[in-house]
Amino acid sequence: MRKADRLEEKIKTILRIQGKKAVNLISAKLKKSKSYFSDLEGTTYARLIEMAERGDPRARKMRKLIEEAQRLSEKL
């Protein structure tokens, strides 16, 4: 895959998930992680990024879990 195509794919993924709630982006199994906070599960990915950038440690952990779930679902 060319660099431009890879970048396009990445942007598409971000656009696809940015408005989705965390609960819909993390598998049931990853929800068992200590990094999952159920009171943040209704928060969108985009909002979690904002919160994480402002220094919220729980949002930072949730963001990492979402990105891990995306990474794992892209390639086995």
Partner 1 sequence: MDISSFKQALAKVISLHREKKFAEAYELIEQLLLESPYSSNLLVKRAKLIQLLDDELSQPPTLEMAFDSLKQAHSLEPQSIEPCIELGYFEYAVNDQTAEGLKYFQLAQENAETGLKDALVGQIKCYMDMDDKMQAKKVLEKARVLFPDDDDVEDLFYELED
Q: Which residues contribute to the site for partner 1 (CB under 8 A)?
A: 27-30, 32-35, 61, 64-65, 67-69, 71-73, 76
Taking the complex as a whole, how short is the minimal distance between the CB of residue 11 and partner 1, in angstroms?
Answer: 21
Taking the complex as a whole, how short is the minimal distance between the CB of residue 7 and partner 1, in angstroms?
Answer: 21
CA dist 75 and 23 (Å) reads 21
Taking the complex as a whole, how short is the minimal distance between the CB of residue 57 and partner 1, in angstroms?
Answer: 9
51-76: buried (b, 16+ CB within 10 Å) or exposed (e) per residue? bbeeeeebbbbbbebbeebbeeeeee
